[in-house]
Amino acid sequence: MKVTRVLRIVYAVAVVAAFLAAPSMFSRAWADDNSRDFVREIRLFDTVANYVRMSYVTEVDPQELIHDAIRGMLSGLDVYTVFLEADDFRLIINETEGSFGGLGIEIAVTPEDQTLTVMNVLEGTPAERVGLRARDKIVEIDGESTKGITTREALLKMRGEAGTDVEVGIARKGYADKLDFKITREVIHVDSVPYYFMAADDVGYIRVAAFSCDEERSTSKDAEKALAELKKAGMKKLIVDLRGNPGGPLDEAVALAGLFLKKGSLVVYTGGRAGRWEQRKYFVEDEPKYGKEPFVVLVDGSSASASEVFTGALKDHKRAVVMGEKTYGKASVQTLIPLTAAADAGPGPGLKITIAYYYSPDGHLIDGEGIEPVVDLEAEEVPLVVGKLFVLGYFRMYAEAYHDAHGGSALADFEGDATAFEKFVAWVEERGFDFYPEGYAETLPDNGREFYVAAIEKEREAAMTILTREVIREAAGDAEAYTYWRRHDPWVASAVEELS
């Protein structure tokens, strides 16, 4: 059962006391006043904790109390210092390392039917080899129904140790019965540089979606390969797109910066409380392979952590033009501490704790402040009607239906159809799209159809761009769809213009 926040904090101190009893960084320095005060408060807590254990009206679950207590203790610190249960801790380690035991599928709960759906199957993965397809509905995982499941819950169920099996039940269009697949998990390598292409005659574009590193691949190495191919294609200028990049290992941000900055350049330094994190500087160790090409770094309010380190270094050294929005301002160093001693068996929970802050070469504290772009760009607002159609899945559903009807000629047929937009609008109407809040449409003439048609007609260009992207995705895959999307991106166009 739950107890009050006071009790949670009380039990948190008990956990700290347990840590103090072990040989650790905490047990080496009891001489200062702060440590003596800490011990005194722990003794006070111990007294209260025993009263709770012996006298509280009902028996309490020790694990639940202690885990809640730890969260209560950490809640007064920054938002990045958190206690993680075993499943969450394992997931964050997998994501940080850039690899995990999985199936090789991208999934989502589709809004039109609230079912767990395979959105994409990665090439060369276990899922592809057994025959899973995009649009398959995952109705069971290891014999349990997925009704009401969240995407995160499904990920936790399907990820696991490489070499272990997971069974999924699939509902597939055209098949009356459920299809069962037994799939052996493998290490899935995260593609942190998923897309690159020539955005103009001599301007290359590279998307860095995150920073990651494992035994076989890394962001900096993948970027280097992409850059080499772009150079062969005639690249003399470059756009590096870090929008929405949440960060990752610091070493990879330093390595990527090293492709562009002079040998010996300071990339970032850390400032912490004590020990090796008190101040640590990171320099470029080798001569740059792309030290002269002009380039733009695109960032937005979701660019964080390692992406801010990279951006700050390139900006301070005046090596690139930073364009877009002010970055998120999350530039602190966290370390992951496994707490396996707290688990009875198997992988235990863990602690993610902030131990230092990042500073750009010019001494700018990134955390909380972010990186200001040199050229401000305004985020393109998605028109209300287009946004609602997108969120409810209408563009994707129409593209799927269109591809089913036209097969291999779908893209050519769509691009050659002058009435494609009108057909889409009619298809949406046939399916009872509700643009207005429930009950409001009844107060309008013809249930508001005239106003809705006028609104979607006004946003024809935006709607057709998204619709075309989805048709391309069905016909030619994610890479071609992304290339089309970014070639129609106002920010990419602004970056090309900046480099011209």
Active site residues: 305, 316, 330
User: Strands, E, within 242-304: which ranges?
Assistant: 266-272, 279-283, 295-299
Q: What are phi and psi of 157, to 5 degrees?
A: -75, -35
C-alpha to C-alpha distances, 369 to 122, 232, 312, 332, 366, nearest whole angstrom? 37, 39, 12, 12, 5
Residue 429: helix, strand or coil by DSSP?
Answer: helix
Tokens 């050659």 sit on residue? 416
Please give the structure tokens belonging to residue 147: 């009704």
Q: How far apart are CA 306 and CA 251, in angstroms?
A: 9
310 Cβ neighbours under 8 A, 6+ residues apart: 242, 253, 256, 257, 297
C-alpha to C-alpha distances, 306 to 218, 253, 431, 436, nearest whole angstrom? 14, 6, 45, 42
Q: What are phi and psi of 22, to 5 degrees?
A: -95, 155
C-alpha to C-alpha distances, 198 to 37, 223, 324, 481, 483, nearest whole angstrom? 62, 14, 20, 14, 9
Closest CA to 498 of 309, 257, 324: 324
The neighbour count for residue 23, using CB atoms within 10 Å, is 7
Q: What are phi and psi of 238, to 5 degrees?
A: -145, 145
* Euclidean distance between the first and the last CA atom of the chain, given in angstroms as a whole number: 64
Angle at 387 between CA 382 and CA 392, to 5 degrees: 165
Please give the structure tokens belonging to residue 412: 């050519």
Q: What are phi and psi of 410, to 5 degrees?
A: -55, -50
Q: How far apart are CA 118 and CA 106, in angstroms?
A: 6
Containing 101, the helix (H) or strand (E) segment is strand 99-102
CB 258 within 8 A of CB 288: yes
C-alpha to C-alpha distances, 284 to 217, 247, 267, 362, nearest whole angstrom? 20, 19, 7, 16
CB 126 within 8 A of CB 104: yes
Give the burial string for 430-441 (b: 16+ CB within 10 Å, else e).
eeebebeeeeeb
Strand partners, 279: 271
